[in-house]
Chains A and B, each alone.
Chain A
């Protein structure tokens, strides 16, 4: 007999593309968030099966959750394939819910102690509407089996189907209610994994990383985005395009990524806060313009939502393989800043902070995210998306009325930053040239011009270095093992640290969000204080480990890599650390 557990479980909804796996899952996640539960919901879009099997996996808890976790306690299968595909991920005492019209060999499931429940979901869907409402039926059944009150689900259904009219709302509500009752009738209170509203819980937002980046950018004064659709970055421009007109965001879906980055540069040159967003393939096309931003000192914010590469690679899967690319991209040498937020809250902050850095150092600023962070839904405290904390610092930007008549756009200065005026001011012309140029902006290839101008630009990197953040530490000081990570793995590594410490190991996390320029001296000291180190990265070549070695000489004891496009699970990391550390370990 499996022990009863309340408000600590994972649910997986699997089905074909077009069956509403994502919309149904997101609706369900919202219902749970409204009931006061913490939610982490990850989407997985596969194309290895004909029809394109998708799944949506959510972890629910009364305590904060930062990552997905296997096994799952409940699989909601919208296709026969989905029943079998996730068998290995179902916990003891768990259940699979599916329509009784599916022809399933239940033997292997029962052998594993999985509760198998063919419910009349298709019939219920067709009775009140049509077959496509099977996802609504499944959600109703899930509420029924876990004892979760229907009212939360009803509120979400009513809102989500409102645009389709009252009839659609009523039909879906009827489907959900009948499926709920069918599941209740079958299970009563027998299912050991229960979900129930958390009394007095604070209301939390449920959002993904891209939404947070876009919201942060808007709050930070971004009023121009030009981009070309590319998974998983597209939702950044989509969000800004859907922002209420009163904010005045000019959005431009361009003919290609080159036009996208060039329009953003033109807008920024004119004085706007402008950005573009893409994935690695699009960024590859933007590389030349990144150098244009570098030499013309026109601020530019670029979001690189990474996915499995190279080339088209794995368009819908996650990877952290663009780190060294973005640090080195484009010919020649020029300063740039690279940020890799690790949480939705950090995405929001990076959204506005990137513009301050771009204006202060007049260079490209990259925000590295990836499929996992871009598209996973997480509950966030409203207070952590804090508009009062947003600062708009334009650095050495001159107001039009302050531009002197003898203005020199690229005046040499000790910190490398030259006061920036915009074209259209009444006192002086403003120029920019992709050629090397003099202080007044006119082009020159003289060595006597080149050397101080290179030194001026590169000085900005040193000036910026002083404000870059050291990695965040989570876990006990003096821990035996330090897991070193960056970007989207934040939640998973943090969870792995908890798992290790709960089982008597001594571990902590050192997590990077600021990746270039690195505050090298202080960082070297920090790294020196670590005992055993494991660098955890979703890539093949251990790019952060390489970067640390390159900049500080630090050599990690071990690297843990994953490049199958699926995110690390916290238990994978904990298990790998237990297995590997100590074996062949050099003190």
Chain B
């Protein structure tokens, strides 16, 4: 039996401010279709974003959404997930948000392993502030803040995610929306933190990493004899960039408990249900015994 939701239930009449041709359109649509295919209603999902062009995504959907601060959606999302583990929590933010200002949260969340799907709109540039180099910009990349070329090595999110203990690491491409949809679905089915880094051309500010630039380089891991369960192989693939760029699931390690599974105080209720019950029927007598150790 196949009873998919219509992805149009996630549509929203808001004015979209992205430039025509922006890779974010494909990511928005892929997320809607993935949620519909997984039959997750807008009321059961929560999309948390940071700040930047791509972080406006929750505003362009009908879904529970929290557009937070620059770099901070992962801790906000983790708090929401721990307070109500029933929510399907998705984080969407850009490469600057995720790997630059929010870099430490990225590392910590990967090792913490809450059941959150993290989609990074990686365009290798700061778009909303009109073109400055980002953590994933190539060394030598010329922008307004690197007029003679960036002299930093590009950040490699795949390697960092692997080193940080992420259990699901994938790369998608905004130029291949169907493939991306499948990756998002796999990421959401993965129990634990899932990173989906999406190559997302910024048609206005990044004239180097264009749709054509990516198309000439990307290939599918699914088409090769590649086993994402093999950590050593994943370490190799995570370093591959330049002439050939792998798309698909680089690493997958199943069967681990998510962070919230091991929070003992979540047994028998969560912070949201507990305060609701307490507000309905206060139990002062239950608290009296807390005083004993102070006598």
Contact = CB atoms under 8 A, between A and B. Distances in A.
Interface of A: 33-34, 203-207, 211, 215, 218-219, 221-224, 226, 243, 245, 247-252, 254-256, 258-260, 262-274, 288-289, 292, 296, 380, 382, 385, 387-388, 390, 392, 394, 399, 422-435, 441-443
A443 B59 contact: yes
A274 B83 contact: yes
A382 B287 CA distance: 12
Contacts, number: 216
A238 to B, nearest CB: 14
Contact of B68 (A34, A292, A387, A443): A292
Contact of B105 (A255, A430, A433): A255
B75 A224 contact: no
A245 B83 contact: no
A3 B18 CA distance: 85
Given A219-B287, A274-B271, 16 more contacts: A221-B274, A251-B265, A252-B78, A266-B80, A266-B83, A268-B79, A269-B76, A270-B79, A270-B80, A271-B275, A387-B284, A392-B278, A399-B276, A426-B43, A428-B43, A435-B67
Contacts of A263: 75-76, 78-79, 82
Interface string B42-55: 11101010010000
A431 B66 contact: yes
Contacts of A434: 51, 67-69
Nearest to A430: B64
Interface in B52-111: 56, 58-59, 62-69, 72, 75-84, 86-87, 104-105, 108
A392 B79 contact: no
Contact of A442 (B59, B84, B282): B59
Contacts of A251: 265
B284 A390 contact: yes
A545 to B, nearest CB: 34
Given A250-B271, A263-B75, A423-B87, A429 B67 contact: no
Most buried by B among A249, A382, A434: A434
Nearest to B44: A424
B264 interface: yes
A266 B48 contact: yes
B207 interface: no
B87 A424 contact: yes
B63 to A, nearest CB: 6
Given A270-B272, A433-B67, A434-B68, A250 B82 contact: yes
Interface string B275-295: 110110010110110110011
Interface string B247-270: 000000000000000011111111
A292 B82 contact: no
Contact of A252 (B63, B82, B285): B82
B67 A266 contact: no
Given A390-B282, A390-B284, A267 B67 contact: no
13 contacts: A33-B295, A34-B295, A223-B270, A259-B108, A263-B76, A272-B271, A274-B271, A292-B72, A392-B278, A424-B272, A429-B43, A432-B66, A442-B14
A269 B65 CA distance: 10
A434 B69 CA distance: 7
A345 to B, nearest CB: 13
A272 B268 contact: no
Q: Which 10 A-B pairs have the closest CB atoms?
A: A266-B79, A263-B79, A272-B271, A387-B284, A223-B271, A423-B64, A267-B83, A262-B75, A205-B294, A271-B272
A388 B291 CA distance: 14
A104 B10 CA distance: 81
Nearest to B10: A429
Contacts of B87: 270, 423-424
A381 to B, nearest CB: 11
Contacts of B69: 262, 288-289, 292, 434
Given A265-B79, A392-B275, A443-B67, A433 B59 contact: yes
A324 to B, nearest CB: 24
A292 B104 CA distance: 20
B69 to A, nearest CB: 5
A431 B51 CA distance: 15
Contact of A432 (B44, B67, B77, B268): B67
A255 B242 CA distance: 33
B120 to A, nearest CB: 18
A224 B44 contact: no
B290 A218 contact: yes
Nearest to A261: B75
A503 B95 CA distance: 69
A297 to B, nearest CB: 12
Nearest to B77: A266
B290 A215 contact: yes
B186 to A, nearest CB: 24
A424 B72 contact: no
A258 B84 CA distance: 21
A506 B257 CA distance: 67
B274 A248 contact: yes
Contact of A245 (B58, B68, B76, B264): B264
A84 B43 CA distance: 69
Contacts of B81: 266
Contacts of A388: 284
A30 B67 CA distance: 50
A206 B291 CA distance: 10
B75 A424 contact: no
